[in-house]
Amino acid sequence: MKYYSLNKQAPDSSFENAVRIGLAPDRGLYFPQHITPLDEDFFEKLDELSNSEIAFKAIQQFIGEEIPSDDLKQIIEDTLNFDFPIVDIEEGISTLELFHGPTMAFKDVGARFMARCLGYFNRNNDAEVTVLVATSGDTGGAVASGFLGVKGVRVVILYPSGKVSDVQEKQLTTLGQNITALEVDGTFDDCQDMVKKAFLDVDLTSQLELTSANSINVARWLPQMFYFMFAYKQLKALDKPIVFSVPSGNFGNICAGMVAQKLGFPIEHFIASNNVNNVVTRFLETNTYDPQPSIQTISNAMDVGNPSNFIRIQALHDYDLNKLKTNLSSYSFTDDETKTALETIYSNSGYIADPHGAVGYLGAKAHLTNHSNSQVVFLETAHPTKFLDVVEDVISKKIELPPQIQAVIDQQKHATFVKNYEEFKSFMLKF
């Protein structure tokens, strides 16, 4: 498989090169040259296949011979060593729980898969790779856990000061070893801009081999399609149109779901459920794409004012707005609406959602207003204990900390504060 830059000003790339450098030299995101639908026999035998077998069949074409089948199967087995259950919430609405991994967030899958791919490519290489990652919350912890101790890899995580939850901050600042955290005076968009700028800074790239573990990296982005496949397998017996409501920030997750759809999974529709950082909601309403500075909310992983992956979504729909609108709806909700949804879900079903899942639930409810025959699955992207202050206050209930959270909550934070790109660059040159 070859990858091309969506800016179309860079040479085509192998999978390994795309993983190693993250962003193309022209600052474009890498995109597969073609997506070949899976054959009918695969879908006929889907019930007989394990999650790992489904994932291998789905992602093999995007890697080709660059990782031999046996090694790729082992990478997938190591990545998918936890469950992805669906829980019924109410008539027509279910949730897909994506928080059963080591950091209790959906990004565990992409981070673990990418770390293992990079580890494979580095197996005979003494050179050191530096992974740069910006996080609005869960990416940092997932990447820190996924890359901890990986040979030949150093990880630098940039996160916005005061804009991630206490648990999220502990998950990315307490591991040590090859993981370094930088606390940035700014927003997630500022962190993401620093990462992108670093890739084009010759002073840095001449001394460091840099790559990114954000969803701009194909090895972080593509494995997220697995969730949608596992959900379809569990729900297809309902014989109803399956719709996914995806809490959306940088839009990598919902974009990966659309890749699953391209591979032939019969997904009826997607809903991008936004908080007040709603550039895509506004785009679908006005046909004008107008990024804005991000606004802090209680669903902080979605506090993104300029989602990187939306260009990939446009490419998947041939840059045809009408085709996109047929496949994607988007709604925006306030913090007050999110808190009401948390309370409603708990009082009606006993289910404790996190703020991101609550936004997804609201998107599901909005869709069912005019599509009552659908089965809408909202993605529960993180465990509610990662947002204790919000969730416990809303539902008036003490939530027991799971082992993954207990392991970090009392650990000592270690982070370096940086005010701007120059301070970040200075740190990296001495790193």
Q: What are the backbone dihedrals phi and psi of residue 352, each rounded to the nearest 5 degrees, phi first?
A: -100, 110
Residues 6+ apart with CB under 8 A from 129: 20, 118, 122, 152, 153, 154, 209, 210, 211
Instruction: Quote the CA–CA distance of 54 and 297 in Å, as a whole number.
Output: 36
- On the CB side of 18, CA atoms within 13 Å amount to 30
Instruction: Quote the CA–CA distance of 394 and 356 in Å, as a whole number.
Output: 14
- Whether 107 is catalytic: yes
DSSP code per residue over 208-246? -EEEE-STTSHHHHGGGHHHHHHHHHHHGGG-S-EEEEE
Instruction: Quote the CA–CA distance of 87 and 76 in Å, as a whole number.
Output: 24
Contact, 152 vs 122, CB < 8 A?
yes
- On the CB side of 231, CA atoms within 13 Å amount to 31
- Nearest Cα neighbor of 400 from 412, 413, 383, 379 is 383
Contact, 209 vs 203, CB < 8 A?
no
Contact, 75 vs 120, CB < 8 A?
yes
Q: What is the DSSP letter of 106?
A: T
Instruction: Quote the CA–CA distance of 94 and 29 in Å, as a whole number.
Output: 33
- Nearest Cα neighbor of 155 from 137, 176, 171 is 176
Catalytic residue among 107, 339, 365, 386: 107
Which amino acid is residue 84, in one-letter code?
F
Place of tokens 């070859």: 2
Q: What are the backbone dihedrals phi and psi of residue 377, each rounded to the nearest 5 degrees, phi first?
A: -110, 115
Q: What is the dihedral of CA 404, 406, 412, 415, to 10 degrees?
A: 40
- On the CB side of 59, CA atoms within 13 Å amount to 32
Instruction: Quote the CA–CA distance of 28 and 22 in Å, as a whole number.
Output: 10
Q: Is 11 strand, coil or helix?
A: coil
The residues facing 13 across adjacent strands are: 3
Q: Which residues are catalytic?
A: 107
